[in-house]
Amino acid sequence: MTLTDPAPALPHDGLTYEVRTFGCQMNVHDSERISGLLESTGYAPAGEGHQPDLVVFNTCAVRENADNRLYGNLGNLRSVKAAHPGLQIAVGGCLAQKDQATIQAKAPWVDVVFGTHNIGSLPVLLERSRHNAEAEMEILESLEVFPSTLPTKRDSTHSGWVSISVGCNNTCTFCIVPSLRGKEKDRRPGEILAEVQALVDAGAVEVTLLGQNVNSYGVEFGDRGAFAKLLRACGQIEGLERVRFTSPHPAAFTDDVIDAMAETPNVMPQLHMPLQSGSDRILKAMRRSYRSTRFLGILERVRERIPHAAITTDIIVGFPGETEEDFAETMRVVEASRFASAFTFQYSIRPGTPAGEMEGQVPKAVVQERFERLVALQDRISAEEMATLAGTRQELLVTADSGSKSAERGRLAGRAKDNRLVHFSVPEGAETPRPGDFVTVTVTEARPFFAIADPGPEDYALRRSGAGDAWDRAQAESCGVPGPGAPDGTAPSASGATRLGMPTIRPRG
């Protein structure tokens, strides 16, 4: 083939796709893999308002409404598929791993069901289903290929997820994840750092390290200090400005990680650590191998070393057997913890988990009333913690999504180093930042869940970044106009391309 020859057609050139993601950051990251994999075989994203040729559901199984949401969406697509011959529907992720044949029994119009361990099989399964005119299901019980070896289409040019492990070795009684994603498997540090470096080379300035329990990283190859070492190694990557991680387990949280956070400048002053309950009796019933005193001790040590750290958490209300005294303990620990925010959940039975078979299931009305009290408490604390930002100077990483109300008021949005959201305006005559650039402003007003900055010209500082340049290139590519860096003055073709950290972003408007 010469340079002037047309590129060979890929198997699915001309077909379009849409991925719908339900669930956690791991699911979001898996969806980036699914998108990259599909585009590497010739699929293209379906435009806004256009009917795709393929719809992929990447599912979660942690809470009961995940089932209802999936089957509701599949029901809505039944008539769409009848009106669009050739439309394919695929279901993957945790719910597919759990329900397996149940999905095809309830929704026989689904073409492909695949599990958490074999994302890479999706293109072959789709082709086989199309060729044989029948549904295909492939569910593996162990990991086939580590997901990070698959092509990736990143959702953001300035930030990226990087998996450091998959699976979980814990046995929390409310959680079905270990049975769906398997035992923990750790990537080698060199592979992780190479992926981070590739992201930075493509323009990213922020990475979030992902794992079901990131701070147990290294258990598979026998290095208990591996996670702290990994954080410090990320600090040596030039151009990487912000490092985050989620989620650590309190039982495995060690002081060397706190030291690494405090002593590595690009590790951000932010920590998301699930509490789940403040009652020691309930924590024992959950098989959470820590108690409230240990949890509060970790927070104390983090704040000693990182005084302005913003700490967030997850809490379950109404776990089987929870009494009013147990709930009062949760309220006490929440008050003492001063979380910046909390993801609060009402317990729901998950078939296949030990908690689902426990006696003492708490009546729905009681759970709801406790939930409302907890939310009211945390909302007050969140507002009080956000108020501490008023009058402070904050460097913000500008994001692509400013929100509808903020856009109406002429504001953009950015994330402070502690990951709190700030809506800011650009002074008249000042240069407008791109997503991925940094601005430094003074917070003028604090709301319960975000802050506002309306700076004057003297109070506004813009720092353009390589991530902003990457945004420009992606915009030019998606619009089909010459992009910076294209040697012949033309934008490179997106068809069939596999890029690490350089998604094709559809123009807004």
Q: Does residue 48 carry a pLDDT above 90?
A: no
Higher-pLDDT residue of 271 and 94 is 271
**Mean pLDDT on 207-231:** 92
CA distance 128 to 379: 51
Is residue 172 within 8 A of residue 347, CB to CB? The reply is no
Nearest by Cα to 17 from 105, 103, 111: 111
pLDDT in the model for residue 102: 85
Q: Which two tokens stand for residue 67?
A: 């089932």
Is residue 295 within 8 A of residue 240, CB to CB? The reply is no
pLDDT in the model for residue 381: 97
Higher-pLDDT residue of 295 and 406 is 295
- In this structure, of 12-26, 240-254, 322-336, 448-462, the range with the lowest mean pLDDT score is 12-26
Q: Does residue 51 carry a pLDDT above 80?
A: yes
CA distances (Å), origin 357, targets 172, 289, 350, 398: 14, 21, 9, 47
Residues 93-106: pLDDT tens digits? 878 887 777 888 89
Burial class (CB in 10 A: 0-12, 13-18, 19+), 88: buried
- How many other β-carbons are positioned within 10 Å of the β-carbon of residue 134? 9
Is residue 349 within 8 A of residue 355, CB to CB? The reply is yes
- How many other β-carbons are positioned within 10 Å of the β-carbon of residue 150? 18
- In DSSP terms, 136 is beta-bridged to 112
First to last CA, the chain: 39
Q: Look at the block and give the residue holding tokens 């549904």.
A: 135
Tell me how far apart the 2 most distant CA atoms of the chain are, in Å: 76
Which amino acid is located at 365 in the chain? A
pLDDT in the model for residue 343: 93
pLDDT in the model for residue 491: 32
Q: Does residue 9 carry a pLDDT above 80?
A: no
Q: Look at the block and give the residue holding tokens 């719809």.
A: 55
Give the best-scoring range by mean pLDDT among 118-122, 195-199, 229-233. Answer: 229-233
Residues 381-396: pLDDT tens digits? 999 999 999 999 999 9
CA distance 194 to 196: 5
Is residue 392 within 8 A of residue 442, CB to CB? The reply is yes
Residue 139, Cα to own-chain centre: how many angstroms? 24
CA distance 416 to 397: 7
Which parts of 360-493 are beta strand (E)?
A: 393-398, 411-415, 421-425, 438-442, 445-446, 451-453, 461-463
Q: Which two tokens stand for residue 145?
A: 């290929």
Is residue 439 within 8 A of residue 463, CB to CB? The reply is yes
pLDDT in the model for residue 500: 31
pLDDT in the model for residue 146: 52
Q: Which stretch of DSSP H or E encloses residue 227?
A: helix 226-234
Is residue 344 within 8 A of residue 317, CB to CB? The reply is yes
Nearest by Cα to 89 from 37, 143, 51, 62: 51
Mean pLDDT, the chain, integer: 85
Residues 299-351: pLDDT tens digits? 999 999 999 999 999 999 999 999 999 999 999 999 999 999 999 999 988 77
pLDDT in the model for residue 116: 75
Nearest by Cα to 61 from 91, 17, 83: 91
pLDDT in the model for residue 119: 81
- In this structure, of 8-12, 189-193, 332-336, the range with the lowest mean pLDDT score is 8-12
Residues 274-300: pLDDT tens digits? 999 999 999 999 999 999 999 999 999
- Note the pTM of the prediction, 2 decimals: 0.73
3-class secondary structure, 93: strand
Residues above pLDDT 90, as percent of the chain: 55
pLDDT in the model for residue 180: 66
pLDDT in the model for residue 114: 86
Q: Does residue 429 carry a pLDDT above 50?
A: yes
Which parts of 257-359 are beta strand (E)?
A: 270-272, 310-317, 341-346
CA distance 31 to 17: 12
Nearest by Cα to 57 from 30, 83, 36, 84: 30
Structural domains of the chain ordered from first start: 16-138 (3.40.50.12160), 150-387 (3.80.30.20), 393-463 (2.40.50)
Task: List the alpha helices (DSSP H) in 89-203.
Answer: 94-99, 101-106, 122-132, 177-181, 189-201
- In this structure, of 111-115, 187-191, 244-248, 413-417, the range with the lowest mean pLDDT score is 111-115
**Mean pLDDT on 104-129:** 86
Q: Does residue 144 carry a pLDDT above 60?
A: no
DSSP 52: P
Q: What is the phi/psi pair of residue 285, to 5°?
A: -65, -30
The strand order across the sheet containing 136-138 reads 44-45, 16-21, 54-59, 88-93, 112-114, 136-138
Pairing of strands 54-59, 44-45: unpaired
Residues 447-490: pLDDT tens digits? 989 999 999 999 999 999 999 998 888 787 765 444 333 333 33
Q: Does residue 41 carry a pLDDT above 50?
A: yes
pLDDT-derived band of residue 405, with 50, 70 and 90 as boundaries?
Answer: low
pLDDT-derived band of residue 352, with 50, 70 and 90 as boundaries?
Answer: confident
